[in-house]
Structure formats: C-alpha cells, structure tokens
Amino acid sequence: MLRVGLRWKILLLTALPLLALAAATLWFVDRGVSARSEENLAGDLRRAADLFENMLSASAAELSVTGAVIVRDPRFFSVLALPHGRHDREFLATVAGVARDFQQLAHPDVFEIVDSRGDVVASVGRMSMVAIGRDTLVTSALAGRAEKRALSQRGAQVLLVGTPVVADDRVVGALLLGREISGALAARLRELTRSEVTFLSDRHITRTTLTEPVDREVARRAASGTVLPDSRPIHDGGWIAQVRPLPMAAEPTQQVYVLQRSLEAETAFLRSVRSHLLELGLLLLAAVTAAALFIAGHITHPIRQLVLAASAMERGEWEARIDRDREDEMGYLATSFDDMRRRQRTYVRSLQEVARAKSEFIAVASHELRTPISIIRGWEDLLRGGLVKPGTPSFVEGLDAIGRACQSLEKIAVSATRMAQSDGSEGPPAPSPCAVEPLLADAVREASAVAPERQVSLTIEVQPEARHAILDRSQVLHALDALIRNGIRFTPDGGSVTVRALASGEDLSIEVRDTGIGLSDEAKARLLDDAYVPHDSRHHHTATGLEFNVAGMGFGLPLVRRVVDGHGGRLIVDGHEGRGSAFTMVFPGARSSGEELGRAA
Amino acid sequence: MPIRVRSLLTAALLLACSGPVLVTATPARAVVLRGRVTVPSPPAADATFKPYAGRASSLPAPERPARGLVTDTVIYVDSSAVEPPGAPAAEHPQLAQKGQAFDPRVVVVAVGGTVDFPNLDPIYHNVFSVSPPRRFDLGKYPRGQSRSITFQKSGQVNVFCDIHSDMAGFILVVPDRHWTRPAADGSYSLPDLPAGRCRLRAWHPDFPARVFEVEVPAAGDVTLDVSL
C-alpha cells in the first residue's frame, strides 16, 4: 500500500500543480484573447464606418469640386445663358452636346443640367434622378446654394450634388452631379475594411456584399431599430454589426448602412490557437505524467527495496537485494540499512548459536560432571565404609583421584563462566589505544590455561610497526582467545600455534597460524560463508578433555566475526587440509604510533 | 393677345403690363418715335462677386460693368420685312476687351454689319459665342490685336471669354438701321420710321424684352414710353 501510495503522492504533487497552472494559463489566455478580439472587432467596425463616411464625404467633395469647375467653365455656362424656349430643340441639342463633353471629364453616374426654370435640359449620366429630395436640391441650387444629399430611388442610393450655374451674375441653371452608392463601393469598402457592407433604404436592402439571405436578414434586423450616429455594435447570429445613418441622407432615419464582421471568421484564428493550446496541454499532460511517473519510480525504487528487505527480514530472510551504489541520501540510507541488517543478522545468528552452544554445553557439562562426581562419591563411599584406611597407598590414591575430580569440576566452572559471558551482546566496540604485545600475551595465557596438558608450543611475534593499536581490547582479547584455542584444539601434540601482529600501512593484522589438521576447501568455503557456524566436533583430536569439547562447541568463530565486523575489518581464512591453517583478523586503520597510548597514560 | 386702346394715357398705363401693345399714334408732321425708357432699380451689387481665380495678381482688379443701366436698352424695329438691308456701315462698332471686361457691355449691329473685337488688355483673351445667330470662337490673341465678325442673322449674341469666366458681353444683331439707345436720362428718339404697322422691341441684357405693335402714320410723331 505504501509503495503505491508514495508513488501516487509524488505523481500528484508534481503533476497537479503543473496541470492546474497549464489549465489556468489556457483559461486566462483564451478569455483575454476573446475579449480583446471582440473589442478589436468593434473598434475595426467603428474605424471602417469612419473610413466609409470619409470616403463618402470625399466622394461628395470631389463631386462638388467637379461641379464647381464645370459651372465655372465659360463653355458650359455660356450655353445655359442662351435665351431659349421650353422645347427649343436647337438649344437642347446644344446643351446636350456640351453636357456630353463635360460628362466625359468625371463620368459621374448622374449628370443633369437644369435651366433657370427648373426644367431638365440635359441628362447624360447613366442614371437620371426622380427622387423626392432632388427637387429640394434643384431649388437650392437655383437659389444660388450648392448642396449635397444622399438620396434613394428605385432601390439605389445616390450621392447627389447640386451646383448653381452662374453667368453674368445670374443663376442660369443648375448642374446635378451624382454618384451611386454602388455595389462596387461596397465591394471596395469590404476590400479595405474586411467588413461586409449593406446599404438600406427604408429597411430595404439596396446594395450589399452579403450573399446569404440569412446574413442579409441579420443586416436588416440590425437596421430595424432606432439608428443613432454613435450606436454601439450589435451582436447577432454570429455577426458583430455596426449600424449608422447614411451621411448626408435626406432621411437619416430611413437611409442607413450596416457594417458586419463575422465572428465566425474572425475567431477562426482564435479557435485554432485554442485547439493548438489544448493539444499542447494534452501533450504536456502526457509528458508531465510520464516524467512524474519516472521521477516517482526513481525516488521510490530504493525505498521499495528497503521496504521489501525489511519485510523479508521480518520473515527471517536476509538476502533481499539492496542497492548500495547510489551516492545520494538514498544510497546512504541503503548502505546504513544494509550494514545494520548485516550486524543484526550476525547478532541474531550468534545469539542462536550461543543458545545452541549453551544447551549443548549444558548437555555435555552434565555428562562431564557425572564422571568427577562419581569418582568423588566412589571414594567417599570407600572412605566412609572404612575400606580404605588413612595412611595406606589406596588412601593417597583416593585423595589424588578426588583432587583430580575437583580440578575437573573447577575447569567446568571456568568454562561455564566463559560460556555465560559469551552471550553475543558485546555491543559496539569502544576502541582505545592499547599495546599489542601484552594483548597477545594475555590471550595466549588464557587460552593455554584451558588445556595445560596439551603439548602445543605457543609463540608470539609482534612486528615493531604493530606494537600499538587502537582497538576494543576486551573484544579483541576474546576473539583472539577463541582463535588460539581453536588452533590448540586442531593441532596435535608436538605442533605449534604462532600468534603474530603485522602492520600493513595503516592496517593492523593479527594472525593465528597453527600446524594442525588444516582446512579442506569445503570447510574453508563454509567458514567464509557468514551463515556457517562450525559446531561439528568430529575432529576432536583428544576427546577426553572437557576443554576440548567446550572449545569445539563452535561458538568461537561467530564471536570472532562479530568482533571483526564491529571494527569494520575482515577475517581472512587460509590453510590446506593436513598442512595447518591461518586465521587473520584485519583491522583497517587500527595501527597506531603509540603516542595515543602515551597520552592516555 | 394684343389689346387695342384709344388713348396714350391708357397705353402708358397698360405698358406696365407685359405683352405686346398696339399703339395708335396721333397724327404728326414728322414720323419720329419718341419716348422715355424707365428700368427697374438696378439690382444690388453682388457682394460675393469674385474676380476670376486665375487672375494675375500684378493686374488691377477686373472692372465690373454696371448692371441695369438704362443706356444698355436697345429699341429697334423687329421686322425683317420692313426694308432690305442697306449697305454695311463703313465704321465697325467695337466690342473691346479692356480691364478684363467687355467694353461696352452691349454692342448693337445691323444684319450684315461687322463688329471688331480689339484686345486692349495686357493679357490674352479668347472671345467666343455659342448663341444661335452667330457661333464663333476668335481664339486667343494678345494686346493690340483684333478680330472681326460679321453678323448675317439677327438676334442676341452672348459673348464670353473662354479664359475669364466673369466676362460677359452682348451683341444685339438688329434687322436694319431702325434702332436706337436711350440717353442717360432714358429719353430716346427713333427717326425715319416707315409708315404703317411695325413691331417695336425694347431689349435689355438684364431685363426681359418687351414688344410693341406701333401704327406709324405717314407723318407726325409717335410717342412711346417704355417701362422694362
């Protein structure tokens, strides 16, 4: 549960903020761009309307200028100044000729000449005007006032400019120039402003760039309300529309124009950006999830290893793999855990071994105790029964036998004491400066005391460089004692056991070499295996002494290994069958110059 | 429709009305048409009058001929059948271009007569007319030069300058020598009228023309006051 939990927690912690950030960014960008886009559209429409009105007034101004130039031309007004009747053919022909000449100059859609009576005397444009507002314009022009108007007639809207024609200080007529507010103008405006353009007169569309009836209906709807020059753009049917009265319109409420921008088209880019952002977001989500999974896996892998190893330990399995190679905190944790596990295993195993050894000891001891006790009890019976009289050789023999029996009991007591001490709970070593030679001497003395009758020579050799060391003297003494006793035990009488202290760089090695039975390859392999505890007593060389049996109980080597491990050192086992063996304890960095000892003293 | 009246007083009263009037003259020894021309008060000077925009600034401002002068009135016999055209006058009337205006404003010439158009200005002018009695275009010519046009058809000829659009002049081509122009006080006399009924026309560039039917006796004067 922890494994999944930790991984998912890390995944959520890494991925969720990123996703939230991405989603918030998307939302803000989308919202900001949408608002901005609509604002821009409305602004565009207003500018387009201004542009159109400028175009229209420029067109009107151009017509005015053209009219002013034409009416100032003597060739033009001299004709109108001629006296004429209402249906004077010659006059009309002359005027028509002159009108055609001047019409060529500017090609207005409307080119009408009106005489001073208000009668049309020539109309040479593409269109002729019959609209209501036209008469007002003519009246104004004949009164000497130039005016311009946007008029509507026959489904078309025309920008009309009336100019008085003056000859010899008299108004002799009027010139009407007009330009249609045409589909071409709408198309041009559409090209310039990207807005759809619709002109309406009395709610009927006169010209439009819209092709779809449904879109035209939008324009009609937009123009159906009250139209003010500063009307706000209207949203309708996917369009944003700006309605304004046609400038110079004779009836401003009836003649309007609508500029439309399709939100659909305008926001296409926005939508594409949005979908791209979404794709990017999904991609990001996938990438973040993958990365988070990887990171979570990477972080939790060593933890899972430790968890597995811990649960394996609970089941009594010590071999679960732990990766010690990492150089980060996890590596440190794994290494510490592994070391702890190894110590724990050694400790547990030695405890088990001690327990086993103690029970074996008790079994052996109870057996061994019977012999001296029965000897003592036998002699006691003999003495009590008066069968052996004091002063007789038998009495002396009895006393000697009782003495030897007591000695045996004493030895068993010593062994029991030592056994009691070997409970595997040495605890961590407390190294302190110590002299090596006395340490070795003490160990030899203790070991030899157990088997004084054995004919094995014991030698101590200490290299000058190895005279001082920093070690837990008591622990090392016990380990050395165990090794020496093993050596004595496996060496036949007449053999030798050599204890040497060697220096190698900063390391101190203490070697116990015997000339005993040696070690088979199999035995060596078993000894090198941490789990192996030698307790086989088949190789007892002399099975008569309790000390041999006690020593052979096999709790010595685990002790040695515990002590060496505790010092961070290693145990080297060497030897061949029949040619003796050597056990070397290597204590890294334990060699000392002896100054510490001096200071300690 | 003509109205026949009996007395001059009545005629004079009726002259205020428009339309041709038949006048029966009282018998006299010499046939001279006399009378007085009155014109409406001249129109106010146009304050908006602006000289031609292209005028050279070194020149004095264009002259602005007075409008509505009584002396610009022409009274003539408007009847081509009265008498065949006589020999052209030896001296040509002149319509000069002077001070960026036509001088005089009104020139009268009998059919068959010739008008000279001398340019007295230090600038070019281009005199032309599109009037049906005589269309002409004299082209551009400088100071000191002159062009002439002979008029074979009676009627009003509006004369303009193609360069200076504010210039306007009038040539009235009358059928024969029976025409006159009033003095500054409006009095006029038209002698040597042939006896019989004749149609008189009073023409002015600024006012509508008026037509009078006059019964000219064999001898004696006829009086006709004209109010335009």
- SS3 of B45, please? coil
- SS3 of A118, please? coil
User: A299 to each of A16, A331, A335, B84, B102, how far by Cα in Å?
Assistant: 18, 11, 16, 135, 112
- Mutation site, A71, A78, A95, A102, interface B, largest B CB count within 10 A: A78
Per DSSP, the residues of B17-42 read S-S-EEEEPPP-SS--EEEEEE-PPP
What pLDDT digit, counting tens, does each position of A12-27 carry? Answer: 887 788 888 888 888 8
Cβ neighbours around A291 below 10 Å, total: 14
CA distance A308 to B183: 142
CA distance B214 to B77: 10
- Considering only CB atoms, B165 lies closest to which of A74, A79, A94, namely A74
Phi, psi for B125 (deg, rounded to 5): -135, 160
Q: Is B54 on the interface with A (CB under 8 A)?
A: no
Place of tokens 């549960």: A1
Tell me which residue of A259, A235, A234 sits closest to A246, measured CA to CA.
A259
Query: What pLDDT score does A177 carry?
Result: 93
pTM of the full predicted structure? 0.56
- Averaged pLDDT, A498-518: 90
- Mutation site, B69, B130, B166, B171, interface A, largest A CB count within 10 A: B130
Cβ atoms of residues A373 and A413 within 8 Å = no
Q: Is B131 on the interface with A (CB under 8 A)?
A: yes
Q: Which residues of B touch A74 (CB under 8 A)?
A: 128, 160-162, 164-165, 167
Give Cα A26 distance to the centre of its chain: 20
- Considering only CB atoms, B162 lies closest to which of A74, A79, A98, namely A74
- What sign for the dihedral angle of Cα A479, A483, A485, A489? positive
Query: If you measure CA to CA, which chain A residue comes closest to B105?
Result: A168
Query: What pLDDT score does A291 carry?
Result: 85
Give Cα A96 distance to the centre of its chain: 88
Give the 3-state DSSP-derived string for A479-537, with helices as H, strands as E and coil as C.
HHHHHHHHHHHCCCCCCEEEEEEEEECCEEEEEEEECCCCCCHHHHHHHHCCCCCCCCC
- Mutation site, B106, B165, B172, interface A, largest A CB count within 10 A: B165
Q: Which residues of B touch A77 (CB under 8 A)?
A: 160, 165
Q: Is B123 on the interface with A (CB under 8 A)?
A: no
Out of A266-270, A282-286, A528-532, B65-69, pick the least confident: A528-532
If pLDDT is split at 50, 70 and 90, which confidence band does B29 have?
very low
Q: How many CA atoms lie within 13 A of A561 on its CB side?
A: 25
For chain B, what percent of residues have pLDDT higher than 90?
A: 36
Q: Which residues of B touch A90 (CB under 8 A)?
A: 132
Tell me which residue of A76, A142, A153 sits closest to A109, measured CA to CA.
A153
Q: Which residues contact A134 (CB under 8 A, 6 or more apart)?
A: A151, A160, A176
Please indicate whether, in this complex, the C-beta atoms of B132 and A82 are within 8 angstroms of each other: yes
Query: What pLDDT score does B126 carry?
Result: 93
What pLDDT digit, counting tens, does each position of A437-457 carry? Answer: 999 998 888 888 767 778 888
What pLDDT digit, counting tens, does each position of A519-568 carry? Answer: 877 777 766 654 444 444 434 433 333 343 444 445 467 678 878 888 88
Tell me which residue of A65, A60, A66, A78 sits closest to A166, measured CA to CA.
A78
Q: Which residues contact A244 (CB under 8 A, 6 or more apart)?
A: A49, A53, A227, A229, A231, A256, A257, A259
Q: Which residues contact B64 (CB under 8 A, 6 or more apart)?
A: B45, B49, B101
Is A152's pLDDT higher than 80? yes
- The per-residue pLDDT of chain A, averaged, comes to 82
Query: If you measure CA to CA, which chain A residue comes closest to B133?
Result: A82
For chain A, what percent of residues have pLDDT higher than 70?
A: 90
If pLDDT is split at 50, 70 and 90, which confidence band does B115 have?
very high
Q: Which of residues 87-106 of A touch B (CB under 8 A)?
A: 90-91, 94, 98
- Averaged pLDDT, A510-517: 90
Query: What pLDDT score does B140 carry?
Result: 92
Q: Which of residues 10-39 of A touch B (CB under 8 A)?
A: none
Query: What pLDDT score does A599 carry?
Result: 58
Tell me which residue of B44, B95, B38 sits closest to B67, measured CA to CA.
B44
Is A436's pLDDT higher than 80? yes
Query: If you measure CA to CA, which chain A residue comes closest to B52?
Result: A72
Is beta strand B136-141 parallel, antiparallel or unpaired with respect to A457-462? unpaired
What pLDDT digit, counting tens, does each position of A210-248 carry? Answer: 888 888 888 888 888 777 767 778 888 788 888 888 888
Query: What pLDDT score does B51 carry?
Result: 47
Amino acid at A389: K
Q: Which residues of B touch A169 (CB under 8 A)?
A: 43, 46, 49, 67
If pLDDT is split at 50, 70 and 90, which confidence band does B56 have?
low
Out of A497-506, B25-34, B194-203, pick the least confident: B25-34
Query: What pLDDT score does A578 carry?
Result: 81
- SS3 of B206, please? coil
Query: What pLDDT score does A423 carry?
Result: 57
Cβ atoms of residues A195 and A40 within 8 Å = no
Cβ neighbours around A316 below 10 Å, total: 8
What pLDDT digit, counting tens, does each position of A337-361 carry? Answer: 888 888 888 778 777 877 877 787 7
Q: What is the DSSP letter of A355?
A: H
- Averaged pLDDT, A26-52: 84
For residue A55, give how far its alpha carbon lies from the nearest alpha carbon of chain B (Å): 28
Query: What pLDDT score does A140 carry?
Result: 92
Query: What pLDDT score does A526 carry?
Result: 66
Place of tokens 């609209």: A131
Q: Which residues of B touch A75 (CB under 8 A)?
A: 128, 130, 162
- Considering only CB atoms, B67 lies closest to which of A91, A167, A169, namely A169
If pLDDT is split at 50, 70 and 90, which confidence band does A2 have?
very low
Please indicate whether, in this complex, the C-beta atoms of B128 and A74 are within 8 angstroms of each other: yes
Q: Is B160 on the interface with A (CB under 8 A)?
A: yes
User: A290 to each of A1, A12, A417, how far by Cα in Å?
Assistant: 21, 12, 64
Quote the tokens at residue B64. 């602005």
- Considering only CB atoms, B168 lies closest to which of A72, A94, A167, namely A167
For A83, the enclosing helix (H) or strand (E) is none
- Mutation site, A70, A75, A145, A168, interface B, largest B CB count within 10 A: A168
- Considering only CB atoms, B161 lies closest to which of A74, A91, A94, namely A74
If pLDDT is split at 50, 70 and 90, which confidence band does B14 have?
very low
Q: Is A79 on the interface with B (CB under 8 A)?
A: yes
Is beta strand A110-115 parallel, antiparallel or unpaired with respect to B74-77? unpaired
Tell me which residue of A454, A581, A565 sits closest to A512, measured CA to CA.
A581
Q: Which of residues 194-213 of B touch A (CB under 8 A)?
A: 205
Quote the tokens at residue A147. 């005016």
Tell me which residue of A418, A434, A576 sits closest to A482, measured CA to CA.
A418
For chain B, what percent of residues have pLDDT higher than 70?
A: 75
Query: What pLDDT score does B19 carry?
Result: 41
Amino acid at B103: D
If pLDDT is split at 50, 70 and 90, which confidence band does A491 have?
confident
